[in-house]
Amino acid sequence: MDTPAIQTDGLSKRFGRVEAVTELSLAVPPGQVLALMGANGAGKTTLIRMLLGLLRPDAGSASVLGLDPQRESVRLRQQVGYVPETHHFYPWMRIGEVCRFAAGAYPTWDADTCRGLLKTFGLDPEKRMGGLSRGMTAKVALTLALAHRPRLLVLDEATSGLDAAVRQEFLETMVGVAADEGRTVLISSHLLNEVERIVDQAAFIDRGRLRFVEDVESLRERFREIRLTFADEAPEALDLPGALHSTRLGREWVAVIDDASEARLAAIRERFPQAECACRVLALQDVFVALQRAAGAHESPPDSSATGSAGPD
């Protein structure tokens, strides 16, 4: 069996009294595309920073590409393409200078790939970083992450500054990156509807705890939206055990269930014979929303990035 590209065992991190990540154990096979699902403050960015050796865990261990993120951080980062949500570049540098500067840090830097990405993203090497829009700056970061042909690509809300057309363009590029030479991709994004077609697995993190990791196809089979339309007035309450959440809309009740087996659907129809029952397959984005609503809304921990310290995402 292949060694996991990413493996954690009981990984934990606290910031004061806030448990950002708690006893998280995860194994990602090489060549997989994994989506991290979770609300702001769930612990996704904290987990990513620990995987890259940017944060030291309080407990547990991690292995990324067979390397220890703490003891072998330099070797690890040379094999990882990392794009965070915020980017820090010297404003006086030109795009071409940034690329040449980054090339010195990566033994596998591919100048042809870099030039091709600059052309694809419409980036002029002579433009200064200080004059770029947020979207153009994000394109530069994406170019740097892909140009050294990394074994692992980590995207933490990487496309948040891009318009819809450019996001689609980047995702199409990433499909090739993921398929080429069995690269592994870890995506943390709120735009799950846009990444769903390239994702193999999804992991749901809630308040620092990993609730599950599952194949996307399995998730699609497991979760369903049930719409019950009543001929007369809908009941005041819907007694549907096991529903993640339910909402009344006039004469209808709409619920999301976590067991879409034929037996379960037949039991629902039998329970409500006076209602017309329709069933809909959910997209990954809909599954995330349902899980988040079921988990309950919670306040995000304070953002400590303004003070320069690394805090929970």
Q: What is the CATH number of the domain that holds 138?
A: 3.40.50.300
pLDDT in tens, 99-118: 999 999 999 999 999 999 89
**Residues lower than pLDDT 70 in the chain:** 1, 161, 172-181, 296-313
The DSSP output letter for 100 is: H
Residue 301 confidence (pLDDT): 40
Last residue of a domain, one of 187, 216, 245: 216
Is residue 95 within 8 Å of 102, Cβ to Cβ?
no
Please identify, among 193, 216, 239, the residue that sits at the C-terminal boundary of a domain: 216
Tell me: the pLDDT tens digits for 191-202?
A: 777 777 778 899
Asked whether residue 243 falls in the same domain as residue 193, the answer is: no
CB 184 within 8 A of CB 6: yes
- What is residue 105's DSSP assignment? T
Q: Which of 189, 216, 243 is the last residue of a domain?
A: 216
In the prediction, which pLDDT does 306 show? Answer: 33
Q: In terms of DSSP bridges, do strands 33-37 and 59-64 run parallel, antiparallel, or are they unpaired?
A: unpaired
Tell me what pLDDT residue 294 has: 80
Cα 50 to Cα 175: distance, rounded to the nearest angstrom: 26
Using alpha carbons only, what angle is made at residue 236 by residues 234 and 237, rounded to the nearest 5 degrees?
A: 105
pLDDT at 260: 77
In the prediction, which pLDDT does 266 show? 87
| pTM of this structure | 0.83
Q: Do residues 85 and 141 share a domain?
A: yes
